[in-house]
Amino acid sequence: MKALYVPAGLLALILGFSLWAGRYVEIRTEQWNAALELADQSAAQENWTEAARRLEQVTVSRYSEGKRYAKSNSAALWSTKG
């Protein structure tokens, strides 16, 4: 019976970490969705500058944790009025 304590403890630890990671992703996704909805509202009003700025905020906040993102690419993509 004692031989099952270590595997059961490991499984419980993995389950706890998985639940925590899932909740973290859910919270971040809600934040991104809210920010993207604001950008979508600006785009619907054809306020392209504001929409690009809001999208820039989303991408910068996403990659601010040590990752870099080419701002010029996203700005060029969303600043076209085609």
Which pTM was predicted? 0.56
The count of domains in the chain is 1
Residue with tokens 């490991």: 10
Q: What is the pLDDT along the chain (82 residues), one digit of tens a residue?
A: 888 999 999 999 999 999 999 999 999 899 889 989 999 999 999 988 988 888 888 777 666 654 544 455 555 555 554 4
pLDDT of residue 15: 97
Q: What is the pLDDT of residues 23-41, one digit of tens each?
A: 999 998 998 899 899 999 9
- As a whole number, the mean pLDDT across the chain is 81
- Give the burial string for 36-53 (b: 16+ CB within 10 Å, else e): eebbeebbeeeeeeebbe
Range of the domain at 20: 2-79
Q: Are 55 and 78 in contact (CB under 8 A)?
A: yes
Q: Are 56 and 75 in contact (CB under 8 A)?
A: yes
